[in-house]
Amino acid sequence: MTAQYFVYYLPLPLTIHGSVRLNDDGTYSIYLNSRDSAEEWHKTIEHELRHIEGGHLYSDKPVWKLELEADGIALPAPETSEPKIYASLEDLRENFI
């Protein structure tokens, strides 16, 4: 059986465009912000599908990393597991990655 996708339109907070949930029966529920435009709904559907295709609903990675991956932003692998130390907030902003 192929997966089924249910799309719901809900009045979410303005900063949240959507979300996806894997249901117990193997179907997916995609929630879209009813306050967004149709153009934003299309972008959000694509974003949520990248979460599904990327296996993000089964991942133990931090949510912020999964969001970057779904947006197509790949962080470079760290050169070492040792922390990189920045002297100040300005130093961090100017020299991070």
- Residue spans of the domains in the chain: they are 5-95
Higher pLDDT, 96 or 93: 93
Q: What is the pLDDT of residues 22-57, one digit of tens each?
A: 999 999 999 999 999 999 999 999 999 999 999 999
Q: What is the DSSP letter of 9?
A: E
CATH architecture of 5-95: Orthogonal Bundle (1.10)
| Mean pLDDT across 56-61 | 92
CA dist 77 and 38 (Å) reads 36
- pTM of the shown model: 0.73
Q: Mean pLDDT in the chain?
A: 89
Looking at residue 27, its pLDDT comes to 94
CA dist 5 and 26 (Å) reads 10
| Mean pLDDT across 56-66 | 91
Q: How many helices and strands in the chain, by DSSP H and E? A: 3, 3
Looking at residue 76, its pLDDT comes to 74
